[in-house]
């Protein structure tokens, strides 16, 4: 079986949010601006995907909505039944340590 998936990453140095798709790999979805690095800085990030069409729908970042309906989701080949998985973490490319706090994680379906 195969199924669509969605993934994103934010590059603090460039201020760009990327989404992943099967055809082109990491694709720039929106330039949201660079944020300063300090403790207790919280922002909203919401990625909406349409699993019926296999396309991303929109990205909400710090209360600004970015429509991204032309970017396809990525497809995963798998021998198991379709399912939803969430992996949340911090990847720091320069090897330095760091902390990340997550609050109010919400998963929903059938959004307009």
> Tens of pLDDT along 13-50?
788 888 888 778 888 988 988 776 666 667 777 888 88
Q: What is the pLDDT at residue 11? A: 81
Q: Return mean pLDDT, the chain.
A: 74
Q: Write down the residue that tokens 């973490």 correspond to.
A: 89
- Give the predicted TM-score (pTM) of the model: 0.66
- For residues 109 and 53, which has the higher predicted lDDT (pLDDT)? 53
Calculate the CA dihedral of residues 13, 59, 64, 91 and round it to 10 degrees: -30
Bridge partners for 46 per DSSP: 60
Read off the pLDDT of each residue in 76-93 and give the average, rounded to a whole number: 66
Tell whether the model's pLDDT for residue 3 goes beyond 50.
no
User: Tokens at residue 2, please?
Assistant: 């195969």
φ, ψ dihedrals at 64, nearest 5°: -120, 130
CB-neighbour burial class of residue 24 (10 A; exposed 0-12, middle 13-18, buried 19+): exposed
Question: What are 105's two structure tokens?
Answer: 């994680």
Alpha-carbon distance values, 60 to 46, 67, 68, 93 (Å): 5, 9, 10, 24
8 Å CB contact between 33 and 108: no
Contacts of 103 (CB under 8 A, 6+ apart): 42
């Amino acid at each position: 079986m195969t199924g669509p998936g969605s993934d994103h990453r934010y590059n603090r140095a460039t201020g760009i949010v990327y989404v992943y798709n099967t055809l082109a790999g990491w694709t720039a979805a929106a330039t949201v601006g660079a944020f300063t690095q300090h403790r207790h800085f919280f922002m909203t990030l919401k990625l909406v995907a349409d699993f019926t069409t296999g396309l991303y729908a929109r990205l909400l970042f710090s209360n600004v909505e970015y429509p991204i309906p032309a970017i396809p989701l990525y497809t995963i080949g798998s021998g198991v039944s379709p399912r939803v998985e969430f992996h949340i973490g911090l990847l720091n490319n320069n090897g330095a340590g760091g902390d990340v706090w997550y609050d109010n994680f919400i998963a929903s379906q059938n959004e307009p």
